[in-house]
Structure 1
Amino acid sequence: MQTPGTIPNCPPGLEYLTQINQLLVCQRFDLLEVLGCFATSKKYEVMNNQGHRIYYAEERSNCFLRYLCGPSRRFTMTIYDNVGRDVITMHRTLRSSCCWRNCYVQKLKVEAPPGEKIGYVYQYFHPFSPKFKIKNENKEDVMKIRGPCMLSSCLKDLDFNLLSLDEEIVLGKISKKWAGFMRELFTNADKFGIQFPLNLDVKIKALMLGASFLIVRTTCTLNTGHKFCQLSAKLNNFH
Structure 2
Amino acid sequence: MDTTLNSVTDLNAFFVKEHVGMFKAANNYDILHPETQEILMTCREENLGIFTKIFRFTDYKRATPFNIELKDQQGRKILTIKRGISIFLSHVEVFDEKDQLIGYFKQKFFSIGGKFNLYNPQGEELCQLKGKWTSWDFRFVHGEKEFAHISKKWAGMAKELFTTADNYVLEISDQIPAQHPLRKMIIAAVMCIDMVLKE
1:54 maps to which residue?
40
Distance 1:176 1:61 in 2: 29
1:66 aligns with 2:53: yes
Distance 2:152 2:62 in 1: 15
8 Å CA contact 1:108, 1:210 repeated in 2:
no
Aligned residues: 183
Distance 1:215 1:75 in 2: 12
Query: 5+ unaligned residues in a row in structure 1: which ranges?
Result: 5-12, 97-103, 185-189, 222-239
The structure with the largest alpha-carbon Rg is 1
Instruction: Give secondary structure in 1 for the equivalent of 2:107.
Output: strand
1:207 maps to which residue?
185
CA RMSD of aligned residues (A): 2.3
1:158 maps to which residue?
136
Distance 1:40 1:130 in 2: 22
8 Å CA contact 1:107, 1:120 repeated in 2:
yes
Which one has a larger percent strand, Structure 1 or Structure 2?
2
The CA deviation at 1:199 is 3.9
Query: 5+ unaligned residues in a row in structure 2: which ranges?
Result: 154-161
* Higher mean displacement: 71-80 or 195-204: 195-204
2:26 maps to which residue?
41
1:145 aligns with 2:132: no
1:82 aligns with 2:73: yes
8 Å CA contact 1:39, 1:63 repeated in 2:
no
1:16 aligns with 2:8: yes
Instruction: Give secondary structure in 1 for the equivalent of 2:137.
Output: strand
The CA deviation at 1:107 is 1.5
8 Å CA contact 1:172, 1:197 repeated in 2:
yes
8 Å CA contact 1:90, 1:109 repeated in 2:
yes
Structural mapping, 1:89-168, within 5 Å: 89-96=80-87, 104-148=88-132, 150=133, 153=134, 157-164=135-142, 166=143, 168=144
1:174 maps to which residue?
150
The CA deviation at 1:216 is 2.0
Give the TM-score taking structure 1 as reference length: 0.68
Distance 2:42 2:131 in 1: 25
**Residue identity matched to 2:150:** I
Give the TM-score taking structure 2 as reference length: 0.80
Identity among equivalent pairs (%) = 19
Distance 2:24 2:63 in 1: 13
**Residue identity matched to 1:46:** I
